[in-house]
Amino acid sequence: MTDKKYYRIASLEKGIRILELLAEHGELSVSEAARLMDTNRAGSHRFISTLKDLGYVEKNDSNKYQPTLKIMKLAMKVANRFEIRRIARPYMHKLSMAYKETINLGFFKNKEIIHIDKIDSLEVLRMDSALGDKAPAYCTALGKAILAFLPDHELEHYLENTKFKQLTPNTITDKEEFLSELSRIRQNRYAIDDEEMTFGLRCIGAPIFDHNSYPAYALSISGPSMRQTHRTLEEMKTDILQAASELSRKMGTP
């Protein structure tokens, strides 16, 4: 039996869940939202109508409901709290111009990497992630670049509390092998995701250190493996290392 937390407001939880479903599906009718929520149509209509009155949802020409840009405004207010986004933008643009691939900026929280900024590739075939998207740290270039430089006690806590799942044939799931991988990253100062999270996607990433020399963020270049070959990654490493190093200095790293 699951203990219910005394402070949980069920109606608020359902309202936010409907908002998440609308964001995920793009548009939903009242009946579709009710089915996905496993609730009745009347309840679904009340939640959606309330969100509409608050300006978070609107009715479109298909007579369905869709989220408005007011949600994005909230997200941007949160994202703009990260000073690193403003500082990193020129470096991300430079990498984007040089390689025409997707440039990602992320930080580590609760065992995951959260994407806080990106510049999309202009290529038709590309691998994209949305702002706020989360990914396991152990199988991403952003994540491994940060994990390799965590203080020993934090890395130990992460390894003890993280289950490594085999997401692709290349995912490292053996923790001894993973420690060897982190050792190589510390020596090279960059990490590679060699189709470890998604088959057909390769990334190269480097850590960005804050004023306490803590690996607070990471920068990466990602693209389809057919373009992002091992030779291409080798060519990219100097530029991404330089960008991460300069960003670390701007963040106050000694």
Q: Where are the domains of the chain?
A: 10-73, 82-250
- CATH H-level, domain 82-250: superfamily: GAF domain (3.30.450.40)
pLDDT in tens, the chain (254 residues): 455 677 778 888 888 888 888 888 889 998 998 899 888 888 888 888 998 999 888 989 888 999 887 877 777 666 556 678 889 999 999 999 999 999 999 999 888 999 999 999 887 666 667 677 889 999 999 999 999 999 999 999 999 999 999 999 999 999 999 999 999 999 999 999 999 999 999 999 999 998 889 999 999 999 999 999 999 999 999 999 999 999 999 888 87
Same fold across 10-73 and 82-250 = no
pTM, whole model, 2 decimals?
0.70
d(CA 149, CA 209) in angstroms, rounded, equals 9
The CATH code of the domain at 10-73 is 1.10.10.10
Scanning 100-229, the segments in alpha helix (DSSP H) are 141-147, 152-160, 175-188
Amino acid code (one letter) for 121: S
